[in-house]
Amino acid sequence: MTRTITITSGKGGVGKTNISVNLALHLATLGYRICLFDADLGLANINILLGLYPEYNLEDVILYHRDLEDIIIRNYEGIDIIPGSSGVERMANLEADQIEHLTQSFSKLDGYNFLLFDTSSGVSKNVISFCLASSEVIVVITPEVTSLTDAYALLKILCLNGFKGSVRIVINQCKNTSIARHAYTKFKETVKKYLPIDIVPLGMIIQDPKVEEAIKQQQAFVLLYPESDASKCIKSIAKRLMENQTEDLESGMSLFWTQCFKHVTGPLQLSAKKKEKEQIVGESSRQAHQQGPPQLIQRTGGKRLPEAPETAPEAGRLGDLKHAPLPSINKPTDNNASVSQGLQFKDRRHILFKQIEPSKNLPTLPHIVLKLIDVCNRGESTIENISQIINKDTSLSAKVMGMVNSAYNGPCNRMTNIDEVVFFLGRDAIKTIAISATAYSTFDQAKGNSAFRLKLFWWHSLMCATLSKLIARKTSYPAPDE
């Protein structure tokens, strides 16, 4: 009998394939027969990671009737590898006789102790199908908010489709054990509170420069640097995996593949809306909410452009802005006009700041919002801390709840609890909503100030937003609507 384990993640770039490869290779050194199945729909990541270039993959078995034995990469450092590649995606469109043929072929893999599936990230139909058919699922996360929210979305989809297996969590790319423990605890609390599924920690992997060095050499770090911190973490994960070796986690290959094809070719509940392409939230949109726009890098010299301040200047410090240029609205027709206009703006700037500095008609953001921003900026703040502040303001609670349940975000089920909303959106998105929810009313109070022209301010903001959107599209920014 074989233990079938699907290794997956909600978000790409968390090191899932690297963990799959190194775990498989270490289990092989312990004397187990291992088969690693590359179930990634896109790039053949396992092949790239190890510098392998197979002549055939699963697509050749499906379309050109190659025998399964022809595509298996035999005995690479003690493990066998099945290159799935684009053939995995074609599994959803097979005829009954093709499914029967493949099921019989895969049934011959019963001689392995472990069959590990390295899937794509996200919640595609193939990913969910492999998870539902497996007796065990390993979900790889990192301490980043986007990784946690996407992993939560993955588990939620599994629950909606009646997943009954075991879910283990591996925390990757951790600076230290304290950060890993905090990330897992936060994730565990939310899952326990809102999902009918039990998760247990399988281990963590410390950030280790040896991992990058091994990738550059297209070798597994557990073989190239067996005494590195990352290798020790892999060995610890393998040990925990073996400690939980029971008969109920083993299944025959025929049963596994029968279940897998049943899910791949049948209906599955993947998302609330078709336009979200089988994801709970569009990945690029959510990353833009939670991470903000990527840092801009100049094409010449590779220097980073200065970042904009996160908060507005404090009272009494407006003088720091006196040398900042004001935007020119009317294009000068000649050099003399340009000089003249520049002098006019210089005089106007001096008058403008002279009027604004003593003004009491420009209110700051409400205290509750300032407190919320401060708490969100603290790395050690919890979901409970943020939720308590939001719950104190009925208007803010309603706006946050309306945002997360809007068609733009579109969760599978309507959220009614602030704790779940905070976890789903992430800290940065919560800050953005809080600021935007109070911005208009704040500036509206400044109408009586002759130095502050509200209509011009909104017109200028609209122009900036329009230009930003055009630039985002021209540079292929993943979320131009942001």
Q: In terms of domains, do 33 and 168 share one?
A: yes
Top-ranked range on mean pLDDT: pick from 376-380, 437-441, 449-453, 467-471: 467-471
For 65-199, where are the alpha helices, taking DSSP H only?
A: 68-71, 87-90, 96-106, 125-133, 145-160, 177-194
Which has the closest alpha carbon to 177: 198, 201, 209? 201
Q: Based on the domain organization, do 249 and 155 belong to the same domain?
A: yes
- Residue 259 belongs to domain with CATH number: 3.40.50.300
| Residue 353 belongs to some domain of the structure | no
Domain presence at residue 346: no
State residue 304's pLDDT score. Answer: 38
Domain housing 131: 2-290
Same domain, yes or no: 274 and 400: no
Q: Do 258 and 369 share a structural domain?
A: no
Reduced to 3 states (helix: H, G, I; strand: E, B; else coil), residue 7 is strand
Q: What does the DSSP 8-state code read for residue 109?
A: G
Q: What is the pTM of this model?
A: 0.59
- Poorest-pLDDT segment among 86-90, 219-223, 423-427: 86-90
In a domain, 311, yes or no: no
366 and 282 co-located in one domain: no
Given 290, 307, 326, which residue is the final one in a domain?
Answer: 290
**CA distances from residue 81 to 18, 24, 113, 209 in whole angstroms, order as listed:** 14, 10, 14, 26
pLDDT (tens digit, 9 = 90+) per residue, 275-327? 333 333 333 334 334 433 333 333 333 333 333 333 333 333 333 333 333 33
Q: Which pLDDT belongs to residue 351?
A: 57
Range name among 271-275, 328-332, 443-447 with the lowest pLDDT average: 328-332
Q: Is residue 193 part of a domain?
A: yes
The answer to whether 102 touches 265, Cβ cutoff 8 Å, is no
pLDDT-based confidence at residue 159 (cuts at 50, 70, 90): very high
- Mean pLDDT across the stretch 346-361? 52
In a domain, 343, yes or no: no
* Percent of the chain topping pLDDT 70: 69
Average pLDDT, the chain: 75
Query: Is residue 80 a part of any domain in this protein?
Result: yes
What 3-state class would DSSP assign to 16?
A: helix
Rounded CA gap, 11 and 172, in Å? 12
Q: Where are the beta strands (DSSP E) in 225-266?
A: 250-251
Flag whether 309 is in a domain.
no
Domain count, the chain: 2
Domain end call among 243, 270, 290: 290
pLDDT for residue 408: 55
Q: Are residues 35 and 184 in the same domain?
A: yes
Residue 356, in any domain of the structure: no
Residues 120 and 34 in one domain: yes
**pLDDT tens, 234-277?**
999 999 999 877 666 666 677 888 888 889 888 899 873 333 33
DSSP class of residue 119 equals E
Q: What mean pLDDT do residues 12-17 have?
A: 91
